[in-house]
Structure 1
């Protein structure tokens, strides 16, 4: 079993961005450093940089999320970016979507520990919850998949005129360029690269924003592909 490590002291920026929920941010960081490491959700080498690379890097996503909207965090994993976003934005209604049981167990424990009444944990893949999960205003994601594949999962979960916000790295611009054809098929009307977290994280966090229009054709395309994937899995089980 992997040994847990101790959460390092929080930088001053953490107190400023989390505000009154700063003690809960510390609790969540401690949970990641302990249970998260023991269960293999966070690598032990990540613990010394949990604040800068993970908690703060995710919390600054709040800068570009509209007020009082519904959010689905696709492939939430250990709750990044969904839980830091929930801590700084109590006005949001957030669904943490994750297919793996051990991760959803961790997410449920974290949500209960932190008293996040505006957060729901759902076990499943994005393509499996189409039609059962209510469409949302915003889809978030971090370190899930390349943009074209991620959009195929996330965009169909959006309401008309919604947006997907994906935390990305240095290759964000290249990903947007290579994914334009796939994004167009999904009904995206705009894709742009934003930088958030000025004065909080260095370097600033990079976000790819994918905006969709009314897009019934894009949603039908994605639903058709999801149905084909389910049919293929059913055939393989026979």
Structure 2
């Protein structure tokens, strides 16, 4: 068990049940309170940019806080104690900017293929004076060739189905690192076809961390990087969506 800013951060060798104790509503409320000024400033920035580029779905501050910021906060205790992490398909910076605010000791890469979003994120993170953020405009398949097994954790929220997402994320992660995905109740249907085939990507079976937000079920899924990802991954741009690796 490690600590950052007086709250618990899981280490790579924690028991699953032990880690689960720290993914709870009370801890999230504590993290939110400690970082509220910066998180609210981030929301203001998202709203102010909405007229130029659509960084998020909802545009009102209340919904952004209750449905998006708080959702991202549930993942903070599961971040590694140190290292570089990447948010793939970051969009408006969810969850990557939230991670950067709550864990200024980590180096966060925000990856997105839409240039207008990346430009807006550059301005937004400069406004927030986040010195631990790097923004990259590229496809995941292309950037993974440059940063293969470079990150302690690769995560994504609201990007694509679980199987495709694993192909995008696994090549980024170093041995002993983690892949993290935000999912809803349908995650079981998404992971059932994989049936242990994650080994092809060098990954363990997923650990599942459930939580409730606004009366809805949410889940954080985490895979451990057990061995190097097969050299065939990442495949060429678009192949992950067209030809599923697990079939």
Choose from 149, 160, 164 the match for 2:179.
164
Q: Secondary structure of 2:41's partner?
A: helix
2:45 aligned residue (18, 23, 31): 31
Q: In 1, distance between residues paired with 2:121 and 2:59?
A: 21
User: 1:182: how far off?
Assistant: 5.0
Give 1:219's aligned residue. 230
Instruction: Determine the structure 1 residue equivalent to 2:30.
Output: 16
Matches within 5 A, 1:90-129: 90-129=104-143
- Secondary structure class of the residue paired with 1:131: helix
Contact 2:56/2:91 (<8 A) preserved: no
1:42 corresponds to 2:95 = no
Distance 1:81 1:13 in 2: 17
2:5 aligned partner = none
Secondary structure of 1:156's match?
Answer: helix
1:1-12 to 2 correspondence within 5 Å?
A: none
State the Cα distance separating 1:92 from its structure 2 match: 1.3
Q: Paired residue for 1:142, among 148, 153, 157? A: 157
Aligned length: 213
Q: Which has the higher helix share?
A: 1
Contact 1:19 1:88 in 2 (8 A): no
Separation (CA, whole Å) in 2 of partners of 1:81 and 1:68? 17
1:177 to 182, 192, 195: 192
- Superposed CA offset, 1:44-69 (max 9, x none): 46654111110111122111112112
- Pick aligned residue for 2:78 from 64, 76, 85: 64
The structural deviation recorded for 1:194 is 1.1
Q: What per-residue deviation string (whole Å, max 9, x for no partner) do you get for residues 139-188 of structure 1?
A: 01000010111111110111112111111111122222223455232121
**Structure 1, unaligned runs of 5 or more:** 1-11, 230-238
Counterparts of 1:144 and 1:176, CA distance in 2: 15
- Alpha-carbon contact 1:21-1:88 (below 8 Å) kept: yes
CA RMSD, Structure 1 to Structure 2 (Å): 2.6
Residue 220 (structure 1) shift:
0.7
Distance in 1 separating the partners of 2:107 and 2:186: 30
Secondary structure at the aligned position of 1:208 is classed as: strand
Q: TM-score, normalization: structure 1?
A: 0.79
Q: Distance in 1 between matches of 2:57 and 2:225?
A: 35
